[in-house]
A and B are shown apart, each in its own frame.
Chain A
Amino acid sequence: MNSSTQNKIFDQDIDTFLASQDAKDQLRFITCGSVDDGKSTLLGRLLYDSKTVFEDQLSATETESRKYGTQGDNVDLALLVDGLQAEREQGITIDVAYRYFETDKRKFIAADTPGHEQYTRNMATGASTADVAVILIDARRGILTQTRRHSYIVSLLGIKHIILAVNKMDLVDYAQDRFDEIVAEYTEFATQLNFDIMHFIPLSALSGDNVFTSQSVISKSNMPWYSGPTLIDLLETIPVHHNEKDKSFRLPVQWVNRPNSEFRGFSGSIASGKISKGMTVVASLSGRKTKVKQIISPSGDVASATSGQAVTLVMEDEIDISRGDIIALEDSQPEVADQFAAHIIWMDPEAMLPERTYVIRFTTTSTTAQITDLVHKVDVNTLDQLAAKKLELNEVGYCKLALDKAVAFDAYNDNRQTGAFVLIDQYSNATVGAGMIDFALRRASNIGWHNMQIDKSVRAAVNNQKPCVVWFTGFSGSGKSSIADHLEQKLHEAGKRTYLLDGDNVRFGLNKDLGFTDQDRVENIRRVAEVAKLMVDAGLIVIASFISPFRSERRMARELFNDDEFVEVFVDTPLAICEQRDPKGLYKKARAGELKNFTGIDSDYEPPEHAEVILKSGEFEADTLADELVEYLVSKGRQAILE
């Protein structure tokens, strides 16, 4: 125990003391450094100076120091923390170990992890639960490849707050310029990473300078030029659990508590946000809504609860929510999808192969998943992105995954609990990978996977146009095809490269296997949208003319394109007029029952809610309407037709 803590309790009554203990919070941090940077020594120093080491442990360490130590007759502080016998004999740290110590202000859990490249996985493990990272550097050696790797992994695991501890200052004569040099180099490098706050401290783990002993208070200071905080000052004051409670409410359901027919509660730990009685909540997977009637916290019934608490919620309505679902608030729900893109750290000697099926485990649910695409791997030393066919042990890759069922999740960057997963080998049950979700992929959406040299903008420049798709929707006979025809002619005359996709040229070829059931219509539109996307990619202006009766399919098509690439044109002609025109005699057949699933007759049409352009074909000529469209395209800067 801390000596100052001890002194204090003598002139303070125990209750006051306990109250101050109770109010302490806890900081979890990870220490990373390369072999021999002095990590074990630093941790030993923290334990020793915080008086967390008991006499019997110290004397055991003295015995061991004589046997294995590197410090001659002095106690080797590193041996206080080197746990397992095997590694004690080898003198290296091979696994993650957790250390506990406290000071007057805080309690600490330090994750002690090895630095070698082959232990990237151990570092990731330690970093996954840490709020802060202490990255050790040997002042003589400066920033090494390992430093970059450690920093990258820490950043990948979502740690926003780091302390760069420049150790062994005693061996560089406590030189300020050496320290400044390292700080400048690191600051430059760190611009590539995702840290919010960085601190730099010159210290000596061996002597304790700037660990607990501030240079500004001792009379014979080794580093009078450094007036900043000591390592312990920083660790004691860095804010913890930053803003988790201010994020969107997430309760991954662990357990449905039904001790008897009277009671049904949903138990889990609040991953983020707050909840109060009376709030309306949604079960993400089913979309069902209800209100919170009762909140049971570990200390009994409460009116509200916040992130970090294990609770049981009782709802107003009898709704079915099961383990694996996430309870959220109506206005900020998690993603629900069966595909996403994620960074994966591979942790198994057997390489990760795309196509292979793995068990995937999220906060409270699991299913099976395939890596459909290994987009690239990251060289953890240089941060370069490299092409790869598989991911070996300790490698990091960016992947697309497809799951066997939809699950609820968030992006890891938004939520470290609901955005993380592990991959498990189906046969050996080993934990083989750890993943951090980047974003959800909608069905059929596909976002710039390959950055090729010749891209859309280059092709568009050659064509002197802005590629886009003009998507016509409306009843059969509404006038889509005639307007589309006129539009294409006008664009062509202006020197634009176009292509017209309509029912006729796809139904006989690409989509000849599809009929007119709802499923087939969806697939029809999906394929057309994909083809249109390729053509837009090729630099063309695509005019698509399809009844496309369902909002969701049009939205899906829209989502394949950038915002300014998709123009939805609703040809708004009353059904009666269409039926009266009946250019192909189809309405007649449908009325006679000879045609099934005909839009407007026995199949629904969902009018667009946010079409860019609405054309009243019942009232104007096709040519006039085509002019109106050209005008729209010009005014929106989509096409410089008249240049």
Chain B
Amino acid sequence: MTSISEPDHLARLESESIHIIREVAAEFRNPVMLYSIGKDSAVMLHLAMKAFAPGKPPFSLLHVDTTWKFKEMIQFRDETVKRLGLDLIVHINQDGVDRGIGPISHGSKLHTDVMKTEGLKQAMNKHGFDAAFGGARRDEEKSRAKERIFSFRSKSHRWDPKSQRPELWNLYNTRIADGESVRVFPISNWTELDIWQYILRENIPIVPLYFSAKRPIIKRDGVLVMRDDERLPLEPGESVEDMQVRFRTLGCYPLTGAVESSAESVSDIIFELLQSRSSEREGRLIDNDQIGSMEKKKQEGYF
């Protein structure tokens, strides 16, 4: 039992997010939580558990599997849902698999379009979800800074920056027509540092890939790529090196750059973050393709 005290900054963010999660549960017919296994998803899931304690969240988790995630991610995902006793839906774009789409053969853009963006739309349509929680934050990228917390999507899942609804106070317009949906971002107002501080404070389990370890690395165009399986072919002159690295973000392994680091705990990570001079998305290859690339992706229906 603690006595009455002003909630600090993390406690306020925590409560704000719980509020948003409860609104969705109360207002939507068939919500789902997109679980992408990374640290932001871990925090979002942790908040969802708190929102409905002592009960369980009244919705399932959805993972759109591109089939190129790190093995450790999949293992962690399965352990997590088991530990928490939740339902998990895994969706794979079978059509993409049949066409042999992959990041190496087709490049990051097409791979992401088909396996992630298309896959997500398929899953939303198949299960008739009318609301999907996502773990995006506004501080991640400039075009996200204007994203609403409740982001409206047309029947074809498009995001139109011009037709977003004004969002005042904490009054969210949850009305949609049949076939339309919303993406809801309960941790919009968190920064990367907030996320790590909260993981530390709450002792939230995260994928071990965030912590430094010796991993098999190929240096390619200045990016440290981990060879998670045999599907990543070596180019002439390349070799696999064991390097002490960790990941700041997690995605499809051939598209995710590692950083050299000795951070072995969450507080090490925070320490490192405070000294770092580059943003977390730098390691994601899709963003740097062209100026405004994230904005284009979002219009097409990427999360």
Contacting A14 at CB < 8 Å: which of B53, B142, B165, B267?
Answer: B267
User: CA separation between A107 and B193, bound complex, in Å?
Assistant: 11
Given A304-B3, A429-B173, A255-B189 contact (CB < 8 Å)? no
Q: Interface centre among A56, A88, A112, by most B CB within 10 Å? A: A56
User: CA separation between A258 and B168, bound complex, in Å?
Assistant: 30
List of A residues within 8 angstroms of B14 by Cβ: 298, 310
Contact A269–B1 (Cβ < 8 Å): no
Mask, A50-68, CB within 8 Å of B = 1, is 0000111100100110010
Q: Does A128 contact B (CB under 8 A)?
A: yes
Contact B22–A310 (Cβ < 8 Å): yes
Contact B12–A308 (Cβ < 8 Å): yes
Contact A434–B291 (Cβ < 8 Å): no
Contact A83–B143 (Cβ < 8 Å): yes
List of B residues within 8 angstroms of A305 by Cβ: 4
Which one of B67-75, B107-115, B272-280 is at the interface? B272-280
**Residues of B275-296 contacting chain A, CB below 8 A:** 275-279, 282, 291-292, 295
Q: Does A299 contact B (CB under 8 A)?
A: yes
**Residues of B1-52 contacting chain A, CB below 8 A:** 1-16, 18-19, 22-23, 25-26, 50-52
A95 CB to nearest B CB, Å: 5
Contacting A312 at CB < 8 Å: which of B53, B139, B145, B275?
Answer: B53
User: CA separation between A362 and B26, bound complex, in Å?
Assistant: 14
Q: Which residue of A lies closest to B283 (CB)?
A: A56
Contacting B271 at CB < 8 Å: which of A14, A86, A98, A421?
Answer: A14
List of A residues within 8 angstroms of B167 by Cβ: 125, 431
List of B residues within 8 angstroms of A6 by Cβ: 274-275
Contact A298–B146 (Cβ < 8 Å): no
**Residues of B185-207 contacting chain A, CB below 8 A:** 188-189, 191, 193-194, 197, 200-201
Q: Does A594 contact B (CB under 8 A)?
A: no
User: CA separation between A431 and B6, bound complex, in Å?
Assistant: 33
B273 CB to nearest A CB, Å: 8
Contact B189–A434 (Cβ < 8 Å): no
Contact A308–B7 (Cβ < 8 Å): yes
Given A21-B197, A86-B161, A429-B6 contact (CB < 8 Å)? no
Contacting B168 at CB < 8 Å: which of A26, A125, A260, A299?
Answer: A125
Contact B166–A309 (Cβ < 8 Å): no
Contacting B278 at CB < 8 Å: which of A9, A25, A55, A364?
Answer: A55
Given A97-B146, A125-B168, A254-B23, A304-B4 contact (CB < 8 Å)? yes
Q: Does B219 contact A (CB under 8 A)?
A: no
Contact A22–B201 (Cβ < 8 Å): yes
Contact A361–B168 (Cβ < 8 Å): no
User: CA separation between A434 and B165, bound complex, in Å?
Assistant: 12
Contacting A420 at CB < 8 Å: which of B5, B22, B171?
Answer: B171
List of B residues within 8 angstroms of A416 by Cβ: 169
Q: Does A554 contact B (CB under 8 A)?
A: no
Contacting B267 at CB < 8 Å: which of A18, A121, A122?
Answer: A18
Q: Does B214 contact A (CB under 8 A)?
A: no
Q: What band does the interface of chain B fall in when counting residues whose beta carbon is under 8 Å from A? A: 35 or more
**Residues of A258-315 contacting chain B, CB below 8 A:** 258-260, 263, 267-269, 274, 276, 296, 298-299, 301-306, 308-310, 312
B61 CB to nearest A CB, Å: 18
**Residues of A303-329 contacting chain B, CB below 8 A:** 303-306, 308-310, 312, 323
List of B residues within 8 angstroms of A188 by Cβ: none
Contact B165–A431 (Cβ < 8 Å): yes
Given A95-B161, A267-B51, A361-B173, A22-B15 contact (CB < 8 Å)? no
Q: Does A100 contact B (CB under 8 A)?
A: yes
List of A residues within 8 angstroms of B197 by Cβ: 18, 21-22
Q: Does A85 contact B (CB under 8 A)?
A: yes
B296 CB to nearest A CB, Å: 8
Q: Does A611 contact B (CB under 8 A)?
A: no
Contact A308–B15 (Cβ < 8 Å): yes
B282 CB to nearest A CB, Å: 5
Contacting B169 at CB < 8 Å: which of A5, A21, A24, A129?
Answer: A129
Contact A60–B291 (Cβ < 8 Å): yes
Contact B291–A24 (Cβ < 8 Å): no
Contacting A424 at CB < 8 Å: which of B22, B164, B173, B177?
Answer: B173
Contact B55–A263 (Cβ < 8 Å): yes
Q: Does B54 contact A (CB under 8 A)?
A: yes
List of B residues within 8 angstroms of A124 by Cβ: 166, 168
Contact A18–B200 (Cβ < 8 Å): yes
Contact B9–A309 (Cβ < 8 Å): no
Given A363-B170, A429-B177, A259-B138 contact (CB < 8 Å)? no
Contacting B171 at CB < 8 Å: which of A303, A310, A362?
Answer: A362
List of A residues within 8 angstroms of B201 by Cβ: 22
Contact B168–A420 (Cβ < 8 Å): yes
Contact B171–A18 (Cβ < 8 Å): no
Write 23 A-B pairs (CB below 8 A) sorted by A numbering: A14-B271, A18-B197, A25-B6, A64-B291, A81-B145, A83-B142, A84-B146, A129-B170, A255-B52, A259-B54, A268-B22, A269-B16, A296-B53, A298-B18, A298-B50, A302-B2, A308-B7, A310-B19, A361-B171, A420-B171, A421-B171, A422-B173, A429-B177
Question: 10 other contacts beyond A18-B270, A67-B291, with CB at 8 A cut-off?
Answer: A26-B9, A54-B276, A98-B145, A259-B56, A260-B55, A267-B51, A269-B19, A296-B54, A306-B5, A364-B23
Q: Which 7 A-B pairs have the closest CB atoms?
A: A259-B55, A85-B292, A310-B18, A310-B15, A128-B168, A54-B279, A429-B175
